[in-house]
Amino acid sequence: MLKAWIEDRTGLSRVERFLNAKTVPQHRHSFWYYTGSAILLFLSIQVVTGFLLVFYYRPTLGEANASVARIMTEVPLGWIIRSVHSWSASLMIATVFAHLFGIWITKAYRRPRELTWMSGVALLLLALGFGFTGYLLPWDGLSLSATKVGTDIPRSVPVVGAWIARFLRGGEDVTGDTLTRFFGFHVCVLPFLLFALLAVHVALIQKHGMSLPLSVERRGEKVKGLPFWPNFVYREVRVWLVLFGLLVTAAVLFPPSLGKVADLMAPAPVGIKPEWYFLFLFQTLKIFPSRILFVDGDTVAVLLILLGGALFFMLPLLDCSPGGKRGRFFAAAAWGFLFYAVAMTVWSLF
Protein backbone atom coordinates (compact mmCIF):
# COMPACT_ATOMS: atom_id res chain seq x y z
CA MET A 1 0.00 0.00 0.00
CA LEU A 2 2.66 2.51 1.12
CA LYS A 3 5.06 1.21 -1.56
CA ALA A 4 2.39 1.73 -4.25
CA TRP A 5 1.72 5.26 -2.94
CA ILE A 6 5.41 6.16 -3.12
CA GLU A 7 5.79 4.48 -6.51
CA ASP A 8 2.87 6.48 -7.99
CA ARG A 9 4.49 9.73 -6.95
CA THR A 10 8.19 9.07 -7.49
CA GLY A 11 8.60 6.17 -9.92
CA LEU A 12 11.31 4.71 -7.69
CA SER A 13 10.96 1.27 -9.28
CA ARG A 14 12.97 2.57 -12.25
CA VAL A 15 15.91 3.18 -9.91
CA GLU A 16 15.45 -0.32 -8.48
CA ARG A 17 15.39 -1.85 -11.97
CA PHE A 18 18.51 0.14 -12.90
CA LEU A 19 20.37 -1.05 -9.78
CA ASN A 20 19.33 -4.65 -10.40
CA ALA A 21 20.57 -4.52 -14.00
CA LYS A 22 23.89 -2.78 -13.20
CA THR A 23 26.96 -5.02 -13.10
CA VAL A 24 30.60 -4.45 -12.18
CA PRO A 25 33.30 -6.24 -14.22
CA GLN A 26 35.47 -8.63 -12.22
CA HIS A 27 39.18 -8.79 -13.09
CA ARG A 28 42.53 -8.32 -11.40
CA HIS A 29 42.30 -4.51 -11.52
CA SER A 30 38.84 -4.42 -9.91
CA PHE A 31 40.20 -2.88 -6.68
CA TRP A 32 40.46 0.50 -8.46
CA TYR A 33 36.65 0.57 -8.59
CA TYR A 34 36.54 0.96 -4.81
CA THR A 35 38.39 4.29 -4.86
CA GLY A 36 35.40 6.13 -6.36
CA SER A 37 33.01 5.21 -3.56
CA ALA A 38 35.74 5.84 -0.96
CA ILE A 39 35.85 9.46 -2.17
CA LEU A 40 32.09 9.71 -1.67
CA LEU A 41 32.46 8.28 1.85
CA PHE A 42 35.03 10.93 2.84
CA LEU A 43 33.00 13.66 1.13
CA SER A 44 29.92 12.68 3.17
CA ILE A 45 31.97 12.81 6.37
CA GLN A 46 33.28 16.24 5.32
CA VAL A 47 29.75 17.54 4.82
CA VAL A 48 28.46 16.24 8.17
CA THR A 49 31.46 17.42 10.23
CA GLY A 50 31.52 20.70 8.27
CA PHE A 51 27.91 21.40 9.25
CA LEU A 52 28.76 20.74 12.90
CA LEU A 53 31.79 23.07 12.79
CA VAL A 54 29.82 25.88 11.15
CA PHE A 55 27.54 26.04 14.19
CA TYR A 56 30.46 27.35 16.27
CA TYR A 57 32.98 28.84 13.81
CA ARG A 58 33.02 32.63 13.30
CA PRO A 59 34.72 33.86 10.11
CA THR A 60 35.91 37.26 11.30
CA LEU A 61 39.34 38.67 12.00
CA GLY A 62 38.75 39.01 15.74
CA GLU A 63 36.86 35.80 16.39
CA ALA A 64 38.07 33.10 13.95
CA ASN A 65 41.02 31.80 15.96
CA ALA A 66 39.18 32.10 19.29
CA SER A 67 36.16 30.24 17.91
CA VAL A 68 38.38 27.36 16.74
CA ALA A 69 40.06 27.34 20.17
CA ARG A 70 36.60 27.18 21.73
CA ILE A 71 35.62 24.29 19.44
CA MET A 72 38.72 22.42 20.59
CA THR A 73 38.52 23.13 24.30
CA GLU A 74 34.93 23.88 25.30
CA VAL A 75 32.48 22.42 22.78
CA PRO A 76 31.67 18.79 23.67
CA LEU A 77 33.56 16.48 21.27
CA GLY A 78 34.53 19.61 19.30
CA TRP A 79 38.20 18.62 19.07
CA ILE A 80 37.37 15.23 17.58
CA ILE A 81 34.88 16.71 15.07
CA ARG A 82 37.54 19.17 13.90
CA SER A 83 40.13 16.41 13.77
CA VAL A 84 37.87 14.11 11.74
CA HIS A 85 37.13 17.02 9.35
CA SER A 86 40.83 17.72 8.88
CA TRP A 87 41.88 14.07 8.45
CA SER A 88 38.94 13.30 6.20
CA ALA A 89 39.96 16.18 3.91
CA SER A 90 43.47 14.75 3.58
CA LEU A 91 42.21 11.23 3.00
CA MET A 92 39.66 12.42 0.45
CA ILE A 93 42.31 14.21 -1.60
CA ALA A 94 44.63 11.18 -1.32
CA THR A 95 41.80 8.98 -2.60
CA VAL A 96 41.05 11.37 -5.46
CA PHE A 97 44.73 11.18 -6.48
CA ALA A 98 44.61 7.36 -6.26
CA HIS A 99 41.36 7.27 -8.27
CA LEU A 100 42.77 9.41 -11.08
CA PHE A 101 46.05 7.49 -11.08
CA GLY A 102 44.16 4.17 -11.38
CA ILE A 103 42.16 5.52 -14.31
CA TRP A 104 45.33 6.81 -15.94
CA ILE A 105 47.29 3.55 -15.77
CA THR A 106 44.32 1.37 -16.78
CA LYS A 107 43.46 3.86 -19.58
CA ALA A 108 39.86 3.94 -18.44
CA TYR A 109 39.57 7.48 -19.89
CA ARG A 110 39.62 6.23 -23.48
CA ARG A 111 36.70 6.77 -25.85
CA PRO A 112 33.82 7.39 -24.99
CA ARG A 113 34.81 8.42 -21.43
CA GLU A 114 36.83 11.57 -22.18
CA LEU A 115 34.31 13.87 -20.49
CA THR A 116 34.18 11.62 -17.43
CA TRP A 117 37.94 12.09 -17.04
CA MET A 118 37.76 15.85 -17.57
CA SER A 119 34.97 16.26 -15.01
CA GLY A 120 37.07 14.13 -12.62
CA VAL A 121 40.11 16.41 -13.04
CA ALA A 122 37.86 19.44 -12.44
CA LEU A 123 36.61 17.73 -9.26
CA LEU A 124 40.24 17.28 -8.16
CA LEU A 125 40.80 21.02 -8.61
CA LEU A 126 37.71 21.75 -6.52
CA ALA A 127 38.91 19.37 -3.80
CA LEU A 128 42.27 21.19 -3.77
CA GLY A 129 40.34 24.47 -3.59
CA PHE A 130 38.56 23.17 -0.50
CA GLY A 131 41.91 22.32 1.06
CA PHE A 132 43.42 25.71 0.21
CA THR A 133 40.49 27.78 1.49
CA GLY A 134 40.01 25.62 4.59
CA TYR A 135 43.67 26.00 5.58
CA LEU A 136 43.24 29.73 6.33
CA LEU A 137 40.11 29.38 8.47
CA PRO A 138 41.85 28.67 11.85
CA TRP A 139 43.53 32.08 11.31
CA ASP A 140 46.83 31.25 13.01
CA GLY A 141 50.30 32.43 12.06
CA LEU A 142 51.10 29.47 9.85
CA SER A 143 47.83 29.52 7.92
CA LEU A 144 48.13 33.27 7.31
CA SER A 145 51.69 33.01 5.99
CA ALA A 146 50.91 29.97 3.82
CA THR A 147 47.91 31.81 2.33
CA LYS A 148 50.05 34.89 1.67
CA VAL A 149 52.51 32.72 -0.26
CA GLY A 150 49.76 30.76 -2.01
CA THR A 151 47.75 33.78 -3.13
CA ASP A 152 50.94 35.51 -4.29
CA ILE A 153 51.74 32.76 -6.80
CA PRO A 154 49.09 33.82 -9.37
CA ARG A 155 50.84 37.22 -9.61
CA SER A 156 53.49 35.50 -11.74
CA VAL A 157 50.94 34.78 -14.48
CA PRO A 158 51.23 37.46 -17.16
CA VAL A 159 48.33 39.87 -17.84
CA VAL A 160 45.65 38.39 -15.52
CA GLY A 161 47.88 37.34 -12.59
CA ALA A 162 47.53 40.50 -10.49
CA TRP A 163 43.76 40.50 -10.97
CA ILE A 164 43.49 36.82 -9.87
CA ALA A 165 45.55 37.56 -6.74
CA ARG A 166 43.33 40.56 -5.88
CA PHE A 167 40.21 38.47 -6.50
CA LEU A 168 41.42 35.71 -4.17
CA ARG A 169 42.51 38.10 -1.41
CA GLY A 170 39.67 40.58 -1.68
CA GLY A 171 42.27 43.35 -1.83
CA GLU A 172 46.01 43.86 -2.19
CA ASP A 173 46.92 41.87 0.93
CA VAL A 174 45.65 38.97 3.00
CA THR A 175 43.33 40.56 5.56
CA GLY A 176 40.10 39.84 7.40
CA ASP A 177 38.31 40.27 4.06
CA THR A 178 40.34 37.34 2.70
CA LEU A 179 39.27 35.23 5.65
CA THR A 180 35.57 35.98 5.12
CA ARG A 181 35.97 35.47 1.37
CA PHE A 182 37.70 32.10 1.84
CA PHE A 183 34.97 31.04 4.25
CA GLY A 184 32.36 31.95 1.62
CA PHE A 185 34.23 29.92 -1.01
CA HIS A 186 34.67 27.01 1.41
CA VAL A 187 31.07 26.63 2.58
CA CYS A 188 29.06 28.06 -0.33
CA VAL A 189 30.70 28.51 -3.74
CA LEU A 190 32.88 25.39 -3.83
CA PRO A 191 30.21 23.00 -2.44
CA PHE A 192 27.71 24.27 -5.04
CA LEU A 193 30.20 23.75 -7.89
CA LEU A 194 31.32 20.40 -6.47
CA PHE A 195 27.86 18.88 -6.20
CA ALA A 196 26.82 20.18 -9.64
CA LEU A 197 29.94 18.70 -11.23
CA LEU A 198 29.68 15.50 -9.21
CA ALA A 199 26.15 14.98 -10.54
CA VAL A 200 27.49 15.29 -14.11
CA HIS A 201 30.42 12.96 -13.33
CA VAL A 202 28.22 10.24 -11.78
CA ALA A 203 25.64 10.56 -14.58
CA LEU A 204 28.40 10.04 -17.16
CA ILE A 205 29.67 6.97 -15.28
CA GLN A 206 26.14 5.51 -15.22
CA LYS A 207 25.70 6.25 -18.93
CA HIS A 208 28.89 4.52 -20.05
CA GLY A 209 29.13 1.88 -17.32
CA MET A 210 32.33 0.73 -15.62
CA SER A 211 35.30 0.74 -17.97
CA LEU A 212 37.43 -2.33 -18.59
CA PRO A 213 41.20 -1.87 -18.30
CA LEU A 214 42.84 -1.79 -21.74
CA SER A 215 45.03 -4.81 -20.93
CA VAL A 216 41.95 -6.90 -20.10
CA GLU A 217 40.02 -5.70 -23.15
CA ARG A 218 42.88 -6.46 -25.54
CA ARG A 219 43.16 -10.04 -24.36
CA GLY A 220 39.57 -10.45 -25.49
CA GLU A 221 38.73 -12.73 -22.59
CA LYS A 222 35.18 -12.93 -21.33
CA VAL A 223 34.93 -10.89 -18.13
CA LYS A 224 32.39 -11.91 -15.51
CA GLY A 225 30.06 -9.20 -14.24
CA LEU A 226 29.18 -8.98 -10.56
CA PRO A 227 25.72 -7.56 -9.72
CA PHE A 228 26.15 -4.05 -8.34
CA TRP A 229 23.34 -4.66 -5.87
CA PRO A 230 23.85 -6.38 -3.50
CA ASN A 231 27.12 -8.21 -4.28
CA PHE A 232 29.34 -5.22 -5.07
CA VAL A 233 27.74 -2.88 -2.53
CA TYR A 234 28.45 -5.33 0.30
CA ARG A 235 32.10 -5.42 -0.78
CA GLU A 236 32.19 -1.62 -0.86
CA VAL A 237 30.75 -1.41 2.64
CA ARG A 238 33.63 -3.57 3.88
CA VAL A 239 36.12 -1.08 2.41
CA TRP A 240 34.20 1.85 3.92
CA LEU A 241 34.28 0.26 7.36
CA VAL A 242 38.05 -0.19 7.28
CA LEU A 243 38.57 3.37 6.00
CA PHE A 244 36.24 4.73 8.65
CA GLY A 245 38.20 2.88 11.34
CA LEU A 246 41.49 4.28 10.04
CA LEU A 247 40.02 7.79 9.90
CA VAL A 248 38.70 7.71 13.46
CA THR A 249 41.95 6.21 14.79
CA ALA A 250 44.07 8.88 13.10
CA ALA A 251 41.70 11.66 14.18
CA VAL A 252 41.70 10.56 17.82
CA LEU A 253 45.42 9.88 18.12
CA PHE A 254 46.76 12.78 16.03
CA PRO A 255 44.41 15.78 16.29
CA PRO A 256 45.53 18.94 14.47
CA SER A 257 46.88 21.71 16.68
CA LEU A 258 46.05 25.39 16.58
CA GLY A 259 48.70 28.11 16.51
CA LYS A 260 48.53 31.53 18.11
CA VAL A 261 46.18 34.04 16.50
CA ALA A 262 47.56 35.46 13.25
CA ASP A 263 49.23 38.85 13.43
CA LEU A 264 48.99 40.76 10.16
CA MET A 265 52.08 42.84 10.99
CA ALA A 266 54.27 39.93 12.15
CA PRO A 267 57.07 38.61 9.88
CA ALA A 268 56.47 35.25 8.23
CA PRO A 269 57.50 32.35 10.49
CA VAL A 270 60.39 30.13 9.45
CA GLY A 271 59.61 26.96 7.51
CA ILE A 272 56.20 27.80 6.05
CA LYS A 273 54.80 24.76 4.28
CA PRO A 274 51.46 24.16 2.63
CA GLU A 275 49.37 21.02 3.15
CA TRP A 276 51.04 17.79 1.97
CA TYR A 277 49.11 17.67 -1.31
CA PHE A 278 50.61 20.99 -2.44
CA LEU A 279 54.17 20.14 -1.42
CA PHE A 280 55.32 18.82 -4.81
CA LEU A 281 54.14 22.03 -6.52
CA PHE A 282 55.69 24.12 -3.72
CA GLN A 283 59.04 22.36 -4.19
CA THR A 284 58.80 22.73 -7.98
CA LEU A 285 58.46 26.49 -7.56
CA LYS A 286 61.38 26.57 -5.12
CA ILE A 287 63.87 24.84 -7.40
CA PHE A 288 63.47 27.36 -10.21
CA PRO A 289 66.09 30.14 -10.26
CA SER A 290 64.91 33.72 -9.78
CA ARG A 291 65.69 34.57 -13.43
CA ILE A 292 65.85 32.39 -16.53
CA LEU A 293 67.47 34.39 -19.35
CA PHE A 294 65.38 37.59 -19.35
CA VAL A 295 62.26 36.12 -17.79
CA ASP A 296 61.22 35.90 -14.16
CA GLY A 297 61.84 32.35 -12.88
CA ASP A 298 58.53 32.19 -10.99
CA THR A 299 56.65 33.13 -14.16
CA VAL A 300 58.31 30.28 -16.07
CA ALA A 301 57.57 27.83 -13.24
CA VAL A 302 53.90 28.85 -12.92
CA LEU A 303 53.39 28.72 -16.69
CA LEU A 304 54.98 25.25 -16.83
CA ILE A 305 52.73 24.04 -14.00
CA LEU A 306 49.67 25.45 -15.78
CA LEU A 307 50.78 23.75 -18.99
CA GLY A 308 51.19 20.45 -17.10
CA GLY A 309 47.69 20.87 -15.65
CA ALA A 310 46.22 21.55 -19.09
CA LEU A 311 47.93 18.44 -20.55
CA PHE A 312 46.64 16.38 -17.61
CA PHE A 313 43.11 17.67 -18.24
CA MET A 314 43.29 16.82 -21.94
CA LEU A 315 44.97 13.45 -21.46
CA PRO A 316 42.22 11.38 -23.19
CA LEU A 317 42.47 13.60 -26.28
CA LEU A 318 46.27 13.40 -26.39
CA ASP A 319 46.37 9.64 -25.77
CA CYS A 320 44.29 8.97 -28.88
CA SER A 321 45.71 5.47 -29.54
CA PRO A 322 45.95 3.97 -26.04
CA GLY A 323 47.12 0.58 -27.31
CA GLY A 324 49.87 1.96 -29.57
CA LYS A 325 53.32 3.43 -29.08
CA ARG A 326 51.92 6.76 -27.92
CA GLY A 327 49.73 4.92 -25.42
CA ARG A 328 52.80 3.23 -23.91
CA PHE A 329 54.45 6.64 -23.57
CA PHE A 330 51.47 7.99 -21.61
CA ALA A 331 51.40 4.89 -19.38
CA ALA A 332 55.09 5.46 -18.59
CA ALA A 333 54.30 9.16 -18.00
CA ALA A 334 51.83 8.14 -15.26
CA TRP A 335 54.57 6.31 -13.33
CA GLY A 336 57.01 9.15 -14.07
CA PHE A 337 54.57 11.69 -12.64
CA LEU A 338 54.02 9.57 -9.52
CA PHE A 339 57.76 9.26 -8.97
CA TYR A 340 58.23 13.02 -9.50
CA ALA A 341 55.41 13.96 -7.09
CA VAL A 342 56.68 11.62 -4.34
CA ALA A 343 60.33 12.69 -4.81
CA MET A 344 59.44 16.40 -4.69
CA THR A 345 57.25 15.92 -1.63
CA VAL A 346 59.99 14.07 0.23
CA TRP A 347 62.57 16.69 -0.83
CA SER A 348 60.37 19.52 0.44
CA LEU A 349 60.29 17.92 3.89
CA PHE A 350 64.07 18.28 4.35
Partner 1 sequence: MAGISLLACLLVQAALPPPPAPFQEAKEAPKASQERAAGPEEQGPPPMDARESTGIYVFIAWIWMAILVLLYVLGLKIREVDRLHGLGYFDGS
Binding interface with partner 1 (CB under 8 A):
20, 69, 72-73, 79-80, 83, 226-227, 230-231, 234-235, 237-238, 241-242, 244-245, 248-249, 252-253, 255, 257-260
Neighbour-count burial for 234-265, b at 16+ CB within 10 Å, e otherwise: ebbeebbeebeeebbebbeeebeebeebbeee
Q: Could you tell me the end-to-end alpha-carbon distance of the chain, in angstroms, rounded to an integer? A: 67
Backbone dihedral region of 107: left (phi > 0), alpha (psi from -120 to 50 degrees) or beta? left
Name the residue nearer to partner 1 (CB basis): 259 or 309. Answer: 259
Q: Least separation, in Å, of the C-beta of 26 and partner 1?
A: 11
Q: Is the peptide bond before 138 cis (omega within 30 degrees of 0)?
A: no
Name the residue nearer to partner 1 (CB basis): 18 or 329. Answer: 18
Q: Least separation, in Å, of the C-beta of 134 and partner 1?
A: 18
DSSP 170: T
Name the residue nearer to partner 1 (CB basis): 128 or 248. Answer: 248
Q: Least separation, in Å, of the C-beta of 31 and partner 1?
A: 15
Name the residue nearer to partner 1 (CB basis): 129 or 255. Answer: 255
Name the residue nearer to partner 1 (CB basis): 118 or 258. Answer: 258
Name the residue nearer to partner 1 (CB basis): 71 or 214. Answer: 71
| Residues 212, 47: Cα–Cα separation, whole Å | 32
Q: Least separation, in Å, of the C-beta of 234 and partner 1?
A: 5
Kindly provide the residue ranges of all beta strands, DSSP E only, lying in 60-207, ordered along the sequence. none
Q: Least separation, in Å, of the C-beta of 45 and partner 1?
A: 14
Q: Least separation, in Å, of the C-beta of 121 and partner 1?
A: 33
- One DSSP character per residue, 40-82 reads HHHHHHHHHHHHHHHTT---STTTHHHHHHHHHHTSTTHHHHH
| Residues 8, 258: Cα–Cα separation, whole Å | 53
Sequence-separated (6 or more) residues with CB below 8 Å from residue 17: none
